Amino acid sequence: MAARRDRTHYLYLAVIGAVLLGIAVGFLAPGVAVELKPLGTGFVNLIKMMISPIIFCTIVLGVGSVRKAAKVGAVGGLALGYFLVMSTVALAIGLLVGNLLEPGSGLHLTKEIAEAGAKQAEGASESTPDFLLGMIPKTLVSAFTEGEVLQTLLVALLAGFALQAMGSAGEPVLRGIGHIQRLVFRILGMIMWAAPVGAFGAIAAVVGATGAAALKSLAVIMIGFYVTCGLFVFVVLGTLLRLIAGINIWSLLKYLGREFLLILSTSSSESALPRLIAKMEHLGVSKPVVGITVPTGYSFNLDGTAIYLTMASLFTAEAMGDPLSLGEQVSLLAFMIIASKGAAGVTGAGLATLAGGLQSHRPELVDGVGLIVGIDRFMSEARALTNFAGNAVATVLVGTWTKEIDKARAAEVLAGRVPFDETTLVDDGHGTGVVPDQRADEGEEKARAGV
């Protein structure tokens, strides 16, 4: 087993090499590099193919294995309350830094840039009733076929509560879904071996299309955004994690290092969602907390997106010579946070949300979105990394508040003494993430099989 686990180290070394090679190809042969974009798109699509079944299995197992519905409500209520507070904090930090930097001053809008901004705004905004109705799938299975995260979340919650109400009659179904979850994670483990190819294509294409000129002219907002995200993660989230859970933020981020590398190479936090679920359970957080907090956080805990929308809005308004007043900043950004739900893992979704928000509040500023198009891919990476870190911290904090985390196991895991099994991507009952009933069932099955 150890030898198989060691092989995964080569996979992530290959991802790093592929990223560096992609950057080189992007600069040396930009024309060829742009044509490599389908490699990156294909890999991200393979990951997205697995998201709905993983979310469904995780939530059904998490909710269905809890004997009292009130416990699920307590976890969900705590998580949503925390998400709301942290999104507000992220907005405030973004507003503060954005107003201090004034990053958009001195830029000029060309016809091509205006057209690019208008293109991003096409169909980007939706009303609140449209959003709420969009959460309901056309059929029970269409949420899986259409890849809608919020629809899958709704179906999974309904299935989980139904199994919970069935009591002992629902246990065979829960065990079956547990086996399906292992199958899905095993398939994901196979897909991960294509990560170096996907990383190479994605990075080469964006470097080839963007070049160095756009990066130089827009370096202020990029650097400012990265620094702001860093401050949020290490100062705000790090302080909360230390005070509430007694865990060092550096230890947690180191434990999730491979997931951060995957996000960096694909610009999508969705690509690491399945691994975050598996790793949080391995860390010692219970299945119900992981099953509810992580998928919900991917739709509602958008710390990086909040900072991005704040700074990008201020940047666009200043570049257009029409700065936003404080009142306009607050109302516009409150609208954008509501409109950005479900977009955390989708590459480029933040840009569409920005354009849609400006179109609905200040239509005259929409053309300025084109100024950011050239560097959005690079900002998307910081956005995705921050969203991911925020959801990892949220899971630990909610687990701590609900007393659903094994602190001793977490310390052992973060110290590296209980390594995560990369061959299966799922902790097969070795840790506290599996509820006692399930662990007993698995023990009986292994005994019958002579294991």
Low-confidence ranges of the chain (pLDDT < 50): 1-6, 108-114, 116-117, 123, 342-347, 427-451
Q: What is the pLDDT of residue 395?
A: 93
Beta carbons of 21 and 198 less than 8 angstroms apart: no
Q: Output the pLDDT for position 344.
A: 45
Domain 8-119+131-421, CATH class in plain words? mainly alpha
Q: Rounded distance, CA 153 to CA 131, Å?
A: 14
Kind plus residue range of the DSSP H or E element containing 362 = none
Q: Where are the domains of the chain?
A: 8-119+131-421
Q: Report d(CA 350, CA 340) in Å as an integer.
A: 7
Measured distance CA(318)–CA(324) in Å, rounded: 8
Rounded distance between C-alpha atoms, residue 334 and residue 306, angstroms: 9
What is the pLDDT at residue 342?
45
Letter for the amino acid at 119? Answer: K
With tokens 């690491």, the residue in question is: 272
171-191 and 436-448 helices cross at what angle (nearest 10)? Answer: 80
Beta bridge partners of 285: 405
Q: What is the pTM of this model?
A: 0.70
DSSP class of residue 421?
Answer: -
- Say if residues 26 and 206 touch (Cβ distance below 8 Å): yes
**Residue 91 near residue 326 (C-beta atoms within 8 A):** no
Residue found under tokens 């999974």: 156
Dist. CA 75–CA 364, nearest whole Å: 43
Task: Report which of 243, 365, 245, 238 is spatially closest to residue 313, judged by C-alpha positions.
Answer: 365
Q: Is 416 helix (H, G, I), strand (E, B) or coil?
A: coil
